C-alpha cells in the first residue's frame, strides 16, 4: 500500500484497528513514513514471528516508544498498542510496539519482548526505534512501559545511546517474577532451556543479561533511566525495584539512573494515564531533552 495513506492522529480509534497497515519485507527494509498521522507496519522477524508497530507522527523533536505489559485473556488482543489513548493528545511522535514474542503461541500472555533462543529481540527493536526516530526527525527517544513493558523499555534503551528509559513497576529480572508466568514462557518459547537436573526455577540464569536488567546495567551504558515504582506493590518493590536499585548504586551507571517512589494502590497495577504522561514529561525534563 501507499505509505502516504496515513490516518490523522485524532481519527485513530481505540486499539489502532482502523489505521492503515503497510507490509514490510524485513526489519532491514523498515523505512517508516514521515507523513503526519498514523500508519501501522507489519514486519516479519527472525522467520518465526511478526512485529506489529504503530507510528504516529506529529511536529515534535521527541519520539516516545511505548511497550505493553501482560495480556489479559479475553480482554487484550494482538496487536496490542498499550498507552495509545493515554498519549493520543500529547505533542510527541509515538511508536507503539506489540511484542513479536507473543505471536509464537496464542496461549502466551507475557513475553517481555525477549524473543526466543535463536534471536535476541532487544537489539532488533532498538534498530526499529532508531529508524523511526530518524524518519520523524526526533533528536530524543524516550522508551516507556509498565510491568513487563517496563522491563522491555530498560533493555531496549540500553542499546540506544542517548535514549531515556522510563519504566514503571517493572520486572528487572525474569527469574524473580511469578513462577506461573515464567513457566508458561519456558514451556511455549524456550523449552530447551529447562534444566535437565536441579530446579526448573533456575532456568532464567541461562538468559544472562538478556533476562536481567541488573546484569545488563552492570557494565557502562550510554542511556539514562527514570524508574517509577509504586511503594505499595510489595512483590515488585522487594523482588525487582530494591535489587535493581542496589545494583545500580554499585554500578558505573549510578549517575544516569534515577528513582521515584509514588503512592499507588495496594496492588500491582499500571500507573494512571495522568501519572504515565507525567513520568514521560519528567524523564524529558530530568535529562534535559526538548519537549
Supply the CATH number for residue 228's domain: 3.40.50.1820
Q: Which three cell numbers stand for residue 166?
A: 522510563
Residues making up the chain, counted from first to last:
291
**Mean per-residue pLDDT, 106-121:** 96
**What pTM does this model have?**
0.96
| Beta-carbon contacts of residue 175 (< 8 Å; ≥ 6 apart) | 182, 201, 202, 203, 204, 205, 207, 211, 212
Residue 291 resides in a domain: no
Residue 37 resides in a domain: yes
Residues 125 and 113: beta-carbon distance below 8 Å: yes
Residue 89 resides in a domain: yes
Residue 118 resides in a domain: yes
Cβ burial 85-111 (10 Å sphere, 16+ → b, else e):
ebbeebebbbbbbbbbbbbbeeebbbb
Residue 155 resides in a domain: yes
Instruction: Examine residue 286 and say whether the peptide bond preceding it is cis (omega within 30 degrees of 0).
Output: no
Residues 173 and 211: beta-carbon distance below 8 Å: yes
* Domain encompassing residue 174: 9-286
Residue 23 resides in a domain: yes
Residue 280 resides in a domain: yes
pLDDT digits over 17-62, tens only? 999 999 999 999 999 999 999 999 999 999 999 999 999 999 999 9
Q: Which three cell numbers stand for residue 70?
A: 501482560
Q: Give the residue carrying C-alpha cell 518459547.
A: 189
Residues 113 and 121: beta-carbon distance below 8 Å: yes
pLDDT at 164 over 60: yes
**What pLDDT is stored for residue 290 in this prediction?**
59
Q: Give the residue carrying C-alpha cell 535476541.
A: 120
Number of domains in the chain: 1
Share the mean pLDDT of the chain.
95
Residue 252 resides in a domain: yes
- Other beta carbons less than 10 A from residue 61's beta carbon: 16
Amino acid at each position: 500500500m501507499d505509505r502516504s495513506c496515513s490516518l490523522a492522529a485524532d481519527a485513530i480509534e481505540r486499539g489502532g484497528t482502523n489505521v492503515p497497515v503497510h507490509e514490510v519485507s524485513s526489519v532491514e527494509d523498515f523505512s517508516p513514513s514521515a507523513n503526519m498521522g498514523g500508519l501501522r507496519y507489519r514486519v516479519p522477524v527472525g522467520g518465526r514471528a511478526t512485529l506489529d508497530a504503530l507510528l504516529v507522527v506529529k511536529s515534535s523533536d521527541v519520539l516516545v516508544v511505548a511497550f505493553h505489559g501482560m495480556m489479559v485473556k479475553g480482554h487484550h488482543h494482538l496487536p496490542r498498542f498499550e498507552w495509545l489513548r493515554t498519549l493520543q493528545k500529547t505533542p510527541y511522535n509515538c511508536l507503539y510496539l506489540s511484542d513479536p514474542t507473543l505471536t509464537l503461541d496464542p496461549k502466551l500472555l507475557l513475553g517481555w519482548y525477549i524473543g526466543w533462543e535463536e534471536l535476541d529481540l532487544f537489539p532488533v527493536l532498538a534498530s526499529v526505534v532508531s529508524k523511526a526516530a530518524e524518519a520523524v526527525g526526533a533528536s530524543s527517544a524516550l522508551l516507556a512501559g509498565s510491568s513487563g513493558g517496563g522491563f522491555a523499555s530498560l533493555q531496549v534503551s540500553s542499546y540506544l545511546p542517548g535514549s531515556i528509559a522510563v519504566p514503571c513497576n517493572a520486572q528487572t529480572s525474569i527469574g524473580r517474577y511469578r513462577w506461573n508466568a515464567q513457566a508458561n514462557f519456558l514451556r511455549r518459547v524456550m523449552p530447551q532451556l529447562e534444566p535437565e537436573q536441579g530446579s526448573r526455577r533456575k532456568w532464567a540464569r541461562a538468559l544472562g543479561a538478556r533476562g536481567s536488567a541488573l546484569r545488563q546495567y552492570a557494565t557502562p551504558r550510554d542511556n539514562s533511566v527514570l524508574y517509577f515504582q509504586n511503594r505499595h506493590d510489595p512483590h515488585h518493590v522487594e523482588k525487582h525495584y530494591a535489587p535493581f536499585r542496589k545494583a545500580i548504586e554499585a554500578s558505573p551507571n549510578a549517575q544516569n539512573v534515577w528513582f521515584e517512589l509514588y503512592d499507588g494502590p495496594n496492588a500491582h497495577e499500571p500507573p494512571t494515564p495522568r501519572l504515565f504522561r507525567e513520568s514521560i514529561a519528567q524523564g524529558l525534563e530530568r535529562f534535559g531533552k526538548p519537549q
